[in-house]
Structure 1
Amino acid sequence: MDQAVAGKIMDFLTEIGVPFELTTIEQNTFLPGLHLHFGVLQIDLEKLEFLGDILHEAGHIAICEPKARPFLQGDIFKNGLLNGRKAQEMHGEEMAATAWAVAAVTHLGLPLDLVFHEEGYRGGSKNLIDAFSDGKGFGFPLLGAWDMTHPEKGYPHMQKWIRDVSWL
């Protein structure tokens, strides 16, 4: 694991206010070394396989509707549906979290393959890298709707990293 990149990512999360903690994770998790615990991203660097996964999971915290953020726990898609959040909202947030992670990796000057590593995305990493090159992709219209993207520069430039608006 590249400790310099890990440090850069964690410094960024601290700077923008995404709550995380370095800890030991004993239970099996959706992504090795990462667990959402009531709105806090728990990171076990010993078990973590891909640094880019930190950014994607942090994206879920950052783009989550503010009133729901403290309830993010475990497998957020499964638990979100159990807690009454709508499937379409959850799918939209998955796309927005992906777009957020791309904006973050771009902001940090890191390559897209950090987020879209070959072991993830069911073999579609190359297609996703192509889709998100040059400010394209999916999910970013939601970031704009939530006033997160920079109004003049547009995606992937962000004016704020944490969503502070709810659905109307």
Structure 2
Amino acid sequence: MTVKESIEVKKVLQFLEEIGIEVIEKQFQSSFLPGLDLGSNCIYIDYDNLLYPGDILHEAGHLAVTPFQERKLVGTDQISSEWPTQGDEIAAILWSYAALHHLQLPLEFVFHPNGYKNASKWYISNFSSGNYIGLPLLEWMGLCLGNEKAEKEKKSPFPAMQKWLRD
């Protein structure tokens, strides 16, 4: 079975299609993450060079937390040299956790030992205990609700998302 045929990757690809993030299969030689690159509201995947399929969700998180008008600039020389900011990185990490929860995939799928500057176990520990680093940022972006606001609005709190893409 190839990476593309794995149950986890199929779930991720279907989810991304449903929320409006295009995935384009493409061969390329080098990128920041092996087998992955970002373009204008899309993710390029080179399945032959993809080392960690969970990284697809993290990269999708970067697109998801980027404002709509800027998403189309990703992968071009028109995107800010500051992109992604540290706040964007934190938001993308937490977004990918919510996606894992939604897809019922194990945390290790995204937070594998070879990622996150050796902090994968730390993220898993924090998220598993309900310590959602960056939650106020995702709330501010209008993507989810913390416990207090969710209770007031009678909606599901994070890790449930109110929407998956930032306006």
AA partner of residue 53 (structure 1): D
Q: 1:32 aligns with which of 9, 27, 34?
A: 34
Q: 2:112 aligns with which of 117, 121, 138?
A: 117
Q: 1:99 aligns with which of 94, 98, 103?
A: 94
Distance 1:51 1:107 in 2: 17
Q: 1:65 aligns with which of 59, 64, 67?
A: 67
Q: CA deviation at 1:73?
A: 1.4
Deviates more, 1:7-16 or 1:38-47: 38-47
Q: Sort the Cα spacing of 1:39 and 1:27 in 2 relative to 1 into closer, same or farther, 3 A.
A: farther
Distance 2:135 2:26 in 1: 31
RMSD of the alignment, in Å? 2.1
What CA deviation, in whole Å up to 9, does each residue of 1:18-62 have, x standing for no partner? 1221221x2310000100122311011111111110000000111
Corresponding residue for residue 128 of structure 1: 123
- Structure 1 runs of 4+ with >6 Å offset: none
Contact preservation (8 Å) 1:97, 1:139: no
Identity rate of aligned residues, in percent? Answer: 39
TM-score norm. by structure 1 comes to 0.84
Corresponding residue for residue 16 of structure 1: 19
Deviates more, 1:48-57 or 1:130-139: 130-139
SS in 2 for 1:14: helix
Distance 2:85 2:142 in 1: 19
TM-score norm. by structure 2 comes to 0.85
What CA deviation, in whole Å up to 9, does each residue of 1:71-118 have, x standing for no partner? 1118x9xx8552xx4x7x711111000000000001000111111100
Structure 2: unaligned runs, 5 residues or longer: none
Corresponding residue for residue 10 of structure 2: 7
SS in 2 for 1:36: strand
Q: 1:146 aligns with which of 122, 131, 141?
A: 141
